[in-house]
A and B are shown apart, each in its own frame.
Chain A
Amino acid sequence: MAEKDATVELDAVDRQIINELQRGFPIVEEPYKVAAQQFGIEENELIARLQNLLDEGVLSRFGPMYHAEKMGGGLSLAAMKIPAKDYERVVEQVNSFDEIAHNYARDHQLNMWFVVATETPEEVARVIHSIEQKTGFPVFNMPKEKEFFVGLHFSV
């Protein structure tokens, strides 16, 4: 396991910060000061701890989470069934598209799963068509038809 992937040690305040700030953050002039109160720390300490959690990679992000489709963008999950002998070539071809944000190998006949993110909904179909043309394999486009509300809370 690479060192950067090692699990990090967190103290009680870090854990509280991670748990509570997943829920939301205030939109006021001095939001860190307001948020710091619930942890019993000063504004500066909250800012420093957040910076540290980001530097350590414990938090992948801190800030507004945008809804791609509501911003007018297109988003879809797609899968492909690629024979082993063609797999590395197709990985390279699929990854060459800027619109492919995430791509995972999974243990199934449909063995490649990726997210297509575009600036307009129409572009999703165009990108998928281009991938089919380039790779010579069909793409199973699985856009979400309904999103179920999750608790949002990942407790540490």
Chain B
Amino acid sequence: MYVSVNYVANGWNIIEIKMDSIDRQLIVETQQGLPLVARPYQALAESLGISSGEVMERMSKMQSEGIIRRIAAVPNHYKLGYRANGMTVWNLCDDLVDEAGQRVAEQEFVSHCYRRPRYLPDWPYNLFAMVHGRDREEAEQHYRTIAELLGDQCQQHQILFSTRILKKSGFRLSKAK
């Protein structure tokens, strides 16, 4: 049985994604990671009672639909010596923000880049880009690089450093449903 989920992507397009209960089980089984054995898809297949061919087919399909962004190693920036992460925020004209956002995202020190809503007067910023540096100075240098890149397009910007991690846990899909 297919469960259809309608959702709004990027605020404009309605896309329908289909995931069934086997896809869901695959997600649950791989939330901690891909098995570190010679035939990981076979290992998943055995726990689900299906063939490895079906596991690979389903994972390829989820990847082409974007449900799986990619299968990959996720480095811990902090452990690699990149201890300063700054959330840089920018106020750009609505008609410039998308083109500027793409240019900012292309900088190699930017790990995430999103357009988000403003909350005037408290929060005038509509573009967010996370930058990473070995220390605050390096992160601030990246921030200045973005400021130069945007030039006159952006008159108002800030960098917010995290001063404390208050909570950090992963997103977990429950086994139920």
Contacts and interface: CB of A to CB of B under 8 A. Distances in A.
B49 interface: no
B63 interface: yes
A59 B34 contact: no
A65 interface: yes
Contacts of A123: none
B36 interface: yes
Interface of A: 5, 7-8, 17-18, 21-25, 27-33, 43, 47, 50-51, 53-54, 56-73, 75, 77, 79, 81, 91, 94-95, 100-110, 112-114, 117, 119, 121, 140, 142-156
Given A50-B73, A59-B75, A59-B76, A64 B167 contact: no
Contacts of A104: 162, 164-166
Contacts of B60: 27
A121 B9 CA distance: 12
A126 to B, nearest CB: 16
Contacts, number: 245
A155 B162 CA distance: 23
Contacts of A151: 105-106, 108, 110
Interface hub of A5, A65, A153 (most chain B Cβ within 10 A): A65
A8 B79 contact: yes
The 7 closest A-B pairs by CB, nearest first: A72-B5, A148-B105, A63-B33, A63-B34, A103-B166, A21-B73, A105-B164
Find the residue from B75, B165, B177 having the highest chain A CB count within 10 A.
B75
A142 B86 CA distance: 17
Given A47-B36, A61-B33, A121-B7, A148 B165 contact: no
Nearest to A1: B83
A64 B30 contact: yes
B167 to A, nearest CB: 4
B38 A69 contact: no
B108 A60 contact: no
B33 A66 contact: no
A67 B62 CA distance: 10
Q: Which of A57, A65, A146 has the largest count of B CB atoms less than 10 A from its CB?
A: A146
A58 B76 contact: yes
Contacts of A101: 167-171
A94 B169 CA distance: 13
B112 interface: yes
A63 B30 contact: yes
A25 B71 contact: yes
Interface in B113-137: 113-117, 119, 122-123, 128, 132
Contacts of A5: 78-79
B168 to A, nearest CB: 5
Contacts of B164: 104-105
B110 A23 contact: no
